[in-house]
Amino acid sequence: MPTPGVSPSRPPPAASADIGAREEPEVPSAKPPPAQRAYMKWGVLSVPSHFEVVDGGYDLIIHFHGGQQLQEDNLDRCKINALIVSVNLGIGSGPYSDMFSAPNSLDTALERIQTHLDKLGRAPGAKVRRIALTAWSAGFGGVSAMLNQPGVADRVDAILLADALHANFIGDLRDHKVNPGAMENYVAYARRAVKGEKLLALTHSSIGVDGYASTTETAAELLRLVPIEKKQAAFAWPEGMRAIYEAHQGDFHVVGFEGTRENDHMLHVTKMNATLFPWLKARWRRAR
């Protein structure tokens, strides 16, 4: 079975066209600087050892939910040239929604990140260029709150959701009708991703939940509204993750996986380096 971006039976998705391609040989250089961390009240800024400033700027990933070590490992394995901030506010989506629903919350976060980066001295004078919002599980509350802010969707280049997109139901709960209002911002962003203006990539497990829409249900609703057709899984995925279907168009990607246990849910965050991050790496490598 092919790896993401290398498919003998059909053209690869646009965002993953160079995933799996042979890398150019690297020129031996001096020992890279050590990885660094800066601790903020609401998150941890991680600077990987492979990070470099490009043309006076840097790319930034803001990840909601999941310990910073997980995201540091994911970034190091995928070798995306970016900084990552891991935001952890406890259990449930509420704290993420509450904190990042405040007006200008993105600007406030960027200012604090810049202040801590300047103190580290790793990127003197550099300013943020491209921004990706990523989330696992309850962290979707932070991404959703950000997208509700005027202009944020225009400023954010990519959104990656690892078993993380939920929504409430409307009407009789037994009907499991996903609230279209909760999906509106994601539908609009997905349509821009289809045209290559943005990147939106989602994975979901098959875990059921009570009282609100599961990630399986929200993904299905998103694909229906965009609309994009589900197709047979074609790429190879990490050990322990068996794909049920894939849906790709432009820079919009959805992959549904089997799995109904807690460990299946955990795999979506621990394996982001092999599921979601390759699409981000490919996009950011295409246009620097």
In angstroms, rounded to a whole number, what is the distance separating the alpha carbons of residues 131 and 157? Answer: 6
Whose structure tokens read 């998705």? 13
Cα–chain center distance at 2: 22
pLDDT digits (tens, 9 = 90+) for 190-216: 999 999 999 999 999 999 999 999 999
User: What is the structure's pLDDT at 26?
Assistant: 52
Give the global pTM. Answer: 0.88
pLDDT digits (tens, 9 = 90+) for 20-29: 333 444 555 5
Both tokens of residue 277?
């991050």
How do the domains of the chain map onto residue ranges? 34-286
User: What is the structure's pLDDT at 29?
Assistant: 53
| Type of residue at 235 | F
Both tokens of residue 186?
């994601």
User: What is the structure's pLDDT at 19?
Assistant: 37
34-286, what's its fold?
Rossmann fold (3.40.50)
User: What is the structure's pLDDT at 13?
Assistant: 41
Question: 18: which DSSP letter?
Answer: T
In angstroms, rounded to a whole number, what is the distance separating the alpha carbons of residues 280 and 81? Answer: 11
User: What is the structure's pLDDT at 136?
Assistant: 98
Q: Which residues contact 54 (CB under 8 A, 6 or more apart)?
A: 81, 129, 288
| 53 three-class SS | coil
Is the bond into 95 cis (omega within 30 degrees of 0)? no
Positions in the chain short of pLDDT 50: 1-25
Cβ atoms < 10 Å from Cβ of 207? 17
**Of residues 171, 255, 170, 169, the one with CA closest to residue 212:** 169
pLDDT digits (tens, 9 = 90+) for 62-94: 999 998 999 999 999 999 999 999 999 988 898
